[in-house]
Structure formats: C-alpha cells, structure tokens
Amino acid sequence: MLRTDLHEGLSRPEPPVPGPVDASAAPRLQRARGFLELEVGLREGASTLLVHRESGCTKARFPRVADRRPFEAVLINTAGGIAGGDRLEQRLRVRAGAGLLASGQAAEKVYRSLGPPAQLSTRLQVEPGGTLLWLPQETILFDGARLDRSLEVDAAGDARLLLVEAVVLGRTARGEEVRSGRLRDRRVVRCDGSLLLVDPLRLEGAIAELALRPALLGGARAFATILALGPGVDPALLEALRGRLAEGPARAAAGLRGAVLLARLLAPDGFVLRRAVGAALGVLLPAFGCAGELPRVWRC
C-alpha cells in the first residue's frame, strides 16, 4: 500500500534563514583565572622561599637542585594554554641580597580567541643587592590569538636583573601561519623609582602582513628581547654578547646605555630563535653567577 503521508514531508517549505545571533543568548564560556605571588629572601645566608601564594591555574614548583643560589622556581599554567578572556597575574619579589631564577615549565600557547583578548600581567621587584633571572620559555601565538601582556619591573640601584621574553608566530614545523590576531606587549623598567625603559609592541590585525615590514619584524616569524641590568653589565659583556650573536643564524643587535644592556633577536622560526637565545644566555648567565646553560626545564 502506498503511503501518501510521505509526500507531505518532502514538499514542506524550506525553513527561514536564521538571522543574527543575540549575543546575550550565546553560551557563556569558561575562562581561566590565575594568580601567583612569590617572595624570596635570605635565611642563614641562602636564598629561601618566604612567600608562596597561588590560586586558579597559575602554579609554581621548586626543583631540588644541589646549589640553591639562586633559588629556582618553575612557573606552570595548569590550564594548558591561554585563550581569549583568560586573566593571569604574577608577582615576584626578591629581597635584599637574595637570588631567584624563574623559568616556565613549557612554551606558553595562546589560542584563537572568539572575541575578548587574554590578559597576562607580571610584576617583578628586586631589592638592593638582589638578583632576579626572569627566563620564561617562548610564547607561541596561534592564528586568531588575542593577547594583552604587560611586564613591570622595579629594581634597586645595585640590583641585578636578566630578562628574556620570546614570541613565536605559529609553529612552522606544523605548517601553522598566524594571518591575523592581536599582540599588545608592554615592558616598563624602573630603577630606584626612575624610569629606565618603556618598551611597547603592537601587532594587531593582519599580522602576517605587518610582520613583513622592515620597521617591525622584516619577515621574521620569531623574535625575542633580552635585557640585562646591574653590576657586571659593562662594555666587555656587551662585546662578548655581540660576538656570540654574530656567530648564530638569527639576526640580532645589542646595545648598552649606562648599566642597561638591551638585545633584539629575529629568526625565521622558533627553533632558530631558541638556539640564538641559548647562545646569548651562555654569555650572560655566568655574569650573574650561574652556569652558562639554559635552565633544565628548557632542555627537557
């Protein structure tokens, strides 16, 4: 027997094309929040952890090493990366005469945002005679990522600071390309309350096109800033650093003004950049009383 009710379903009019989605009706996505505070000081002549506060996805762990000078901390983001709308805050303080080496467990990945930017703020404070080595691993931006990042440093006049921050625009070995997105990066360094450096960077919109401009990245896909400050940072150290960078595959330049050494590195990919950063640290770390090699987590 022929079922005539099937024809009604086949002849139904097409449903109307849906209109714009109401933003208020959109699902609310989970966002990561993280806060970390570390304070290191001297106890019986050795650098020791005095304050450790953490909440949310931002953690710190402390490797057991034979020589705890400086004290070592490994920063961890348990969220597995940064997405749009995430907010992370870090505060590190080194008291008088103490030393701290802070590194990252892995490269920080910033994923595509559906709208709002992620926010990452870091505050570093180094008191008289203190030493802080700020050595996070690379920040990797994915296509469509949106990140607002700030770093503020307050150092005493005789404090020592070694800072490395690197950014990679996509993983070239995986064929990734960052065509668009947003990176607003800002570093501010003060010494005894006086402003030493304001270092802003803005890549927003068509990042792939902006990166080709000679005044920005000149076609590089990875770049880094290295800053060294304090006693022992002198013209001899600058010349040693320039000589080592000239031997490597990355484009680099370094200069010295007073007791502040600043270097820029440009590379075609993250692998080349890491080799160049490693070579630079091989020169700089001994000047800060450390072995001339990358932190162990960088080599895992």
> How far is 299 from 47, CA to CA, in rounded Å?
24
When pLDDT is cut at 50, 70 and 90, the band that residue 114 belongs to is confident
pLDDT score at 31: 87
Percent of the chain with pLDDT over 70: 89
pLDDT in tens, 17-64: 444 445 455 566 778 899 999 999 999 889 999 999 999 999 999 987
Tokens of 196: 């030493």
Nearest to 106 by CA among 73, 69, 81, 141: 81
Amino acid at 169: L
pLDDT score at 1: 42
Tokens of 281: 């640290």
Query: Which range has the worst mean pLDDT, 27-31, 97-101, 154-158?
Result: 27-31
| Omega before residue 117 within 30° of 0, cis | no
First-last CA distance in the chain: 72
Q: Is the pLDDT of residue 179 over 80?
A: yes
Buried b (16+ CB within 10 A) or exposed e, 131-167: bbbbbbbbbbbbbbbbbbbbbebbbbebbbbbbbbbb
pLDDT score at 172: 83
Amino acid at 181: G
Domain extents in the chain: 32-299
Nearest to 225 by CA among 257, 264, 252: 264
Amino acid at 161: L
Query: Which range has the worst mean pLDDT, 51-60, 165-174, 259-268?
Result: 165-174
Burial of 5 (0-12, 13-18, 19+ CB in 10 A): exposed
- Indicate the average pLDDT of the chain: 88
> How far is 59 from 78, CA to CA, in rounded Å?
7
* Residues 60, 73 contacting (CB under 8 angstroms): yes
pLDDT in tens, 204-235: 999 999 999 998 999 999 999 999 999 999 99
pLDDT score at 152: 97
